[in-house]
Amino acid sequence: MTFNYRKTVTYRLSQTAKASRGRANAHLSRLGLHAGQETVLKVLADEDGQTMSQLAATLGVQPPTVTKMISRLSAQGFVLRQASQTDGRLARVFLTEFGRERIGDLDRAWKRLEKEALVGLDEKDRKRLRRLLRIVEQNLAAAGGQGLDPADDPEPDLEEEVPPPSPVVAA
């Protein structure tokens, strides 16, 4: 019998990631953003004025990826790149007023996505799923020689009421 990759957890995880990214893009496009850009803005909202290297490390991407993202976000007016006052070789990235004003919209979009994704799961299942996904993430990061920051797992704040979509019934 042949190996049925469609029954693997990693296949389901990959398909889920694609679906999540698609829905994220749908929500974020209303804000003029693409999936991935919201994380840059949220990271800067938490700690503004990071260097490109710091952003790359925090986001877990290569520096050229950050450069491209920041260039696009800058062209859209979300962020501003400034040369460091102490080291001209470094550029620091700051949210613009426009970017800062969009953080609340970003949070609402993220909460809508979370609610859409978790329809039909009670709080116990949601917590278990978060924990299991974190274990899978740690396993994959360890296999790739990357460490993860344990503090990088805050519980989502879903207090704002966003009406949930109709549940999808699996066949």
Query: What is the rounded CA–CA span in Å between residue 61 and residue 59?
Result: 6
Q: What is the DSSP letter of 150?
A: T
Which pLDDT score, from 0 to 100, does residue 41 have?
Answer: 97
Which pLDDT score, from 0 to 100, does residue 110 have?
Answer: 94
Report residue 134 as tokens.
């974190």
Query: What is the rounded CA–CA span in Å between residue 168 and residue 33?
Result: 27
Length of the chain as a residue count? 171
Which pLDDT score, from 0 to 100, does residue 156 have?
Answer: 44
Per-residue pLDDT of the chain (171 residues; tens, 9 = 90+): 799 999 999 999 999 999 999 999 999 999 999 989 999 999 999 999 999 999 999 998 999 999 999 999 999 999 999 988 888 788 899 999 999 999 999 999 999 999 999 999 999 999 999 999 999 999 998 998 765 554 455 444 444 444 444 454 444
Which pLDDT score, from 0 to 100, does residue 48 have?
Answer: 96
